[in-house]
């Protein structure tokens, strides 16, 4: 019996999830593993948000809502874009879904014809390319290197685009590199995009609130307002408010595209959880102290990890502008074909070595289309991070 369609065989389950599952299994078997593979805040959702969810249940908000979100949630999202990004949207330009992930999937599904090309700068968030394949599109990777700060340049973008390109997927602050663009850098990309009138831009801004750089966060659309009819901004509450399990993401974009997204949602999952929507309203409209407190803690953890890893021979590091990952380049530790017993052939083997020898779970750069690198999440306690850095240093010294 064939249980999997040919198309599904071409995609893989999330590599970060797979590594995290392995780490959990080792922990369950009694090994003390430090898991730096997961991409979610370790903080609890703030109490006022949890209280809002409980109050919504008590009020009886436990039924279907509009497929693409309640009016209250859309208004809270509109207000967020106005307050934080200086952008104005109407309700018919906003859609809420089961996480940013579903919104991205639906936006691609709403627009891609078979064979349409999607341009994806690397390193990229693991799901982009698999989503494109699942939807019958093709993707073109644009490698952005350590030397380039993992940022797309206007020249590289111009050389990659053609009349066939349907989407450019931008993500800043980036998972996994942490790279962000200044307003001027975005404008320069926007000038190129303006010359390709069939091109849509998806700006994944899910890490907006976790920004460390001297430059404040800039939404792609506030840098390039003239592209408004071709830009979809994706954001959500998962990362900013430690709400990954609640599954609320949202998008703002052209009304016709947003309405196509809602149509897909109405025939697939229907509305995101009504209770989570009420919680997301509280997150977006309530006190924002948590966001600042979490940011201060992430910053301290980032500095701790950078300090520790910088002194380990073989790792080249860039300080992330945002998000909660470091993405060291590890080419000096890779020795393909040396034949030595201890030689590591690629970053996947290096990640596996660290899991089994150092008991630290990290994700290889190959998962993000950028190798040889490792992604380490610092969304965990400082104690865990100190332990992980120490173990990584010792294990890598044994490789030398």
Ligand X SMILES: Cc1ncc(COP(=O)(O)O)c(C=O)c1O
125 interacts with ligand X by CB under 6 A: yes
Residue closer to ligand X (CB basis): 107 or 305: 107
Selected binder of ligand X within 116, 204, 297, 347 (CB under 6 A): 204
276 interacts with ligand X by CB under 6 A: no
277 interacts with ligand X by CB under 6 A: no
14 interacts with ligand X by CB under 6 A: no
Letter string b/e over residues 317-330, b meaning 16 or more CB atoms within 10 A of that residue's CB: ebebbbbbbbbbbb
Residue closer to ligand X (CB basis): 89 or 207: 207
What are 117's strand-pairing partners?
138, 165
- Which range, of 96-104, 142-150, 261-269, 287-295, touches ligand X by CB under 6 A? 96-104
Pairing between β-strand 165-171 and β-strand 138-143 as defined by DSSP bridges: unpaired
How big is the chain, counted in residues? 400
Q: What are phi and psi of 118, to 5 degrees?
A: -120, 125
Q: Minimum distance between the CB of residue 60 and ligand X, rounded to whole angstroms? A: 27
173 interacts with ligand X by CB under 6 A: no
Residue 395: other Cβ atoms inside 10 A: 19
List all residues 6 or more positions away from 296 whose beta carbon is below 8 Å from its beta carbon.
none
* Tokens encoding 43: 């903080």
Largest CA distance in the chain: 67
Please tell me the distance from the alpha carbon of residue 74 to that of residue 101, in angstroms, as a whole number: 18
**Would the CA dihedral through 394, 365, 99, 224 be positive or negative?**
positive
Residue closer to ligand X (CB basis): 42 or 390: 42
Selected binder of ligand X within 23, 100, 110, 201 (CB under 6 A): 100
Selected binder of ligand X within 92, 182, 222, 244 (CB under 6 A): 244
Q: What is the DSSP letter of 237?
A: S
> HSE-up of 286 (CA within 13 Å, CB side)?
19
Please tell me the distance from the alpha carbon of residue 139 to that of residue 115, in angstroms, as a whole number: 9
- Which range, of 22-30, 97-105, 111-119, 187-195, touches ligand X by CB under 6 A? 97-105
101 interacts with ligand X by CB under 6 A: yes
Total residues contacting ligand X by CB under 6 A comes to: 13
Q: Which of residues 142-171 bind ligand X (CB under 6 A)?
A: 171
Q: CA–CA distance from 384 to each of 83, 99, 252, 342 (Å)?
A: 36, 28, 37, 27
Q: Minimum distance between the CB of residue 98 and ligand X, rounded to whole angstroms? A: 7
325 interacts with ligand X by CB under 6 A: no
Selected binder of ligand X within 123, 190, 249, 320 (CB under 6 A): 249
Please tell me the distance from the alpha carbon of residue 70 to that of residue 302, in angstroms, as a whole number: 37
* Tokens encoding 380: 């965990």
Q: Minimum distance between the CB of residue 204 and ligand X, rounded to whole angstroms? A: 5
- Which range, of 98-106, 146-154, 215-223, 365-373, touches ligand X by CB under 6 A? 98-106
Residue closer to ligand X (CB basis): 89 or 241: 241
Q: Minimum distance between the CB of residue 297 and ligand X, rounded to whole angstroms? A: 19
Q: Among all chains, which residue has been given the structure tokens 């030398």?
A: 400
* Tokens encoding 30: 């009694």
Say whether 27 sits in a helix, a strand or coil. helix
Q: Minimum distance between the CB of residue 116 and ligand X, rounded to whole angstroms? A: 21
Q: Minimum distance between the CB of residue 40 and ligand X, rounded to whole angstroms? A: 7
Long-range contacts of 381-384 (CB under 8 A, 24+ apart): 381/42, 382/300, 382/301, 382/304, 384/34, 384/36
Nearest residue relative to ligand X (C-beta): 99
- Which range, of 62-70, 94-102, 266-274, 389-397, touches ligand X by CB under 6 A? 94-102
Residue closer to ligand X (CB basis): 80 or 101: 101
Please tell me the distance from the alpha carbon of residue 305 to that of residue 178, in angstroms, as a whole number: 14
236 interacts with ligand X by CB under 6 A: yes
Residue closer to ligand X (CB basis): 175 or 371: 175
Residue closer to ligand X (CB basis): 202 or 309: 202
Selected binder of ligand X within 94, 112, 118, 206 (CB under 6 A): 206
Please tell me the distance from the alpha carbon of residue 307 to that of residue 90, in angstroms, as a whole number: 46
Selected binder of ligand X within 15, 39, 69, 123 (CB under 6 A): 39
Contact residues: ligand X, CB under 6 A: 39, 99-101, 125, 171, 175, 204, 206, 236, 238, 244, 249
């Amino acid at each position: 019996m064939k249980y999997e369609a040919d198309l599904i065989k071409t995609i893989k389950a999330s590599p970060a999830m797979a590594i995290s599952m392995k780490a959990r299994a080792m922990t369950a078997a009694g090994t003390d593993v430090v898991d730096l593979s997961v991409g979610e805040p370790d903080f609890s959702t703030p109490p006022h948000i949890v209280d809002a969810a409980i109050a919504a249940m008590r009020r009886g908000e436990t039924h279907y809502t509009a497929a693409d979100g309640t009016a209250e949630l859309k208004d809270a999202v509109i207000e967020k874009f106005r307050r934080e990004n200086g952008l104005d949207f109407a309700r018919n330009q906003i859609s809420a879904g089961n996480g940013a992930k579903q919104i991205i999937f639906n936006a691609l599904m709403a627009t891609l014809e078979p064979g349409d090309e999607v341009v994806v700068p690397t390193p990229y968030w693991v799901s982009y390319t698999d989503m494109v394949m699942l939807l019958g599109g093709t993707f073109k990777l644009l490698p952005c290197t350590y030397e380039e700060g993992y940022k797309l340049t206007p020249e590289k973008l111009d050389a990659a685009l053609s009349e066939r390109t349907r989407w450019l997927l931008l993500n800043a602050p980036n998972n996994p590199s942490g790279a962000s663009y200044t307003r001027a850098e975005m404008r320069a990309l926007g000038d190129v995009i303006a010359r390709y009138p069939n091109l849509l831009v998806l700006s994944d801004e899910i890490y907006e609130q976790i920004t460390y750089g001297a430059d404040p966060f800039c939404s792609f659309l506030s840098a390039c307002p003239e592209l408004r009819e071709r830009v979809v901004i994706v954001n959500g509450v998962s990362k900013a408010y430690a709400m990954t399990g609640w599954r609320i993401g949202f998008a703002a974009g052209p009304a016709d595209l947003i309405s196509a997204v809602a149509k897909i949602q109405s025939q697939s999952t229907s509305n995101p959880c009504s209770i989570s929507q009420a919680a997301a309203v509280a997150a977006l409209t309530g006190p924002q102290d948590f966001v600042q407190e979490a940011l201060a803690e992430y910053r301290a953890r980032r500095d701790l990890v950078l300090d520790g890893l910088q002194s380990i021979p073989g790792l080249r590091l860039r300080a992330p502008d945002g998000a909660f990952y470091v993405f060291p380049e590890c080419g000096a530790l890779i020795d393909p074909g040396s034949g030595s017993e201890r030689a590591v052939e690629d970053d996947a083997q290096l990640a596996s070595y660290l899991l089994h020898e150092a008991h630290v779970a990290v994700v290889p750069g190959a998962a993000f289309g950028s190798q040889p690198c490792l992604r380490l999440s610092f969304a965990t306690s400082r104690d865990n991070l100190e332990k992980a850095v120490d173990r990584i240093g010792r294990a890598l010294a044994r490789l030398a």
